[in-house]
Amino acid sequence: MTQKHIIKYYPVDNADNTLIKLSDDSTIQIDCQIRDGEENSSGVKIYDVKKDLLKELKKDSNKNPFVDLFVLSHPHKDHCLGFENNYYCGDPADYSDDNRKKDEIIIGELWVTQQIFLHDVCQHAILIRKEAKRRRQLFEDDPKKADTYGNRMRIIGYNDQDKTVEGLHYAPSDIVNKFNGKVSDYIEFFIHAPFKSDLVIGKAEKDHNSTSIVFQASFRLTKGGSIKTRAFFGGDADHYIWEKVLRISESNNNQDKLKWDIFLSPHHCSWSFFNDRPYKNNSTPKDYALELLDYKQGNAYVVASCLKIEDDDNNPPHHQAKEQYVKKVGAGYFRNTAINKSSKAPEPLEFIIEDDGIKLTKVESAAAIGIISSSAPRAGR
Partner 1 sequence: MNYSYPIIEGAEIQPAEFKIARAKNLAFAIQQHSYCLDERMVCKRRADGCEVILVTLDIEIPQNPLNGIQVYEDIAIICSENDNAFPEVYALREDFEGGLPHTYLSPFEHPVALCVTEQSFTEAKHRLTEFEFLGYIFRWFSLTSEGKLHQEDQPLEPFFFSKGYVLLTNPYDPEKYTHLNRIGESNLFELSTEPDGQSPFHMFGFKSDPQTHGFIRCQPKILSDIAGIFKIEGTSFPIFLHRILNVRLKEFLQNQKLVKDKLAFHGLIPVKRHVDDVEPSSWEYLFFLTNQSILDLGEKSGCLFQKDGAIVPIINKEFDLEVINNIPIELYSSMLDFNPSTSALFNNIEKNDNPFILIGAGALGSQVFDQFVRMGFGTWTIIDHDNLYPHNLAKHTLDRKSVGYNKAIKVSEKANELHRMEIAKPINSDFLTIKEDDSVIAKLKDAKAIIDMSTSIAVARTLARDYNEAIKTPRISSFLNPDGTDLVVLAEDKHRKFRLDFLEMQYYRCLFQEESLHDHLKYDDSLKVRYNRNSCREITNRINQTDVALNASICTKALKSIIENGKPTISIWRADKTTFEVRKYSFEPTRWIRKDVGQWKMYFDLWLLDRMKSFRYSKLPNETGGILIGSYDFQRKVIYVCDSLFAPPDSIEDKSTFERGVEGLLDEYNEYLKVVDNQLCYLGEWHSHPQGYSTNPSTYDFKLYEYLYNKMSRQGSPVLMGILGDNDCTIIFKP
Q: Which residues bind partner 1 (CB under 8 A)?
A: 229, 261, 297-300, 330-333, 340-342, 354, 356-364
Nearest residue (CB) to partner 1, 62 versus 361: 361
125 in Cβ contact with 82 (< 8 Å): no
Q: In what order do the strands lie in the sheet with 260-264?
A: 175-176, 187-193, 214-220, 227-233, 260-264, 296-304, 334-336
The CA distance from 85 to 11, in Å, is 20
Nearest residue (CB) to partner 1, 40 versus 343: 343
Nearest residue (CB) to partner 1, 30 versus 262: 262
Nearest residue (CB) to partner 1, 297 versus 314: 297
CB of 318 to partner 1, least distance (A): 21
CB of 10 to partner 1, least distance (A): 16
Q: How far is CA 283 from the centre of its chain?
A: 28
Nearest residue (CB) to partner 1, 181 versus 332: 332
CB of 58 to partner 1, least distance (A): 27
The CA distance from 328 to 321, in Å, is 11
CB of 133 to partner 1, least distance (A): 42
**CA-only gyration radius of the chain, Å:** 20
Q: How far is CA 150 from the centre of its chain?
A: 19
E strand or H helix that includes residue 244: helix 239-251
146 in Cβ contact with 152 (< 8 Å): yes
The CA distance from 81 to 16, in Å, is 10
* Burial 126-137, CB ≥16 within 10 A → b, else e: eebbebbebbbe
CB of 330 to partner 1, least distance (A): 7
CB of 243 to partner 1, least distance (A): 28
The secondary structure of residue 47, as a DSSP letter, is: P
Q: Is the peptide bond before 316 cis (omega within 30 degrees of 0)?
A: yes
CB of 344 to partner 1, least distance (A): 11
CB of 251 to partner 1, least distance (A): 29
Nearest residue (CB) to partner 1, 136 versus 230: 230
Nearest residue (CB) to partner 1, 270 versus 336: 336
User: Which residues have a Cβ under 8 Å from the Cβ of 249 and sit 6 or more positions away?
Assistant: 192, 255, 257, 258
Task: Looking at 11-57, list the stretches that DSSP marks H as alpha helix, in order from N- to C-terminal side.
Answer: 49-56
The CA distance from 134 to 140, in Å, is 10
Which residue from 68, 69, 32 is spatially nearest to 52, judged by alpha carbons? 32
CB of 301 to partner 1, least distance (A): 9
Nearest residue (CB) to partner 1, 6 versus 360: 360
Nearest residue (CB) to partner 1, 274 versus 351: 351
Nearest residue (CB) to partner 1, 247 versus 344: 344
E strand or H helix that includes residue 131: helix 126-141
- C-alpha torsion angle, residues 198, 203, 207, 212 (rounded to 10): 20
Taking the CB of residue 121, how many other CB atoms lie within 10 A of it?
19
CB of 104 to partner 1, least distance (A): 33
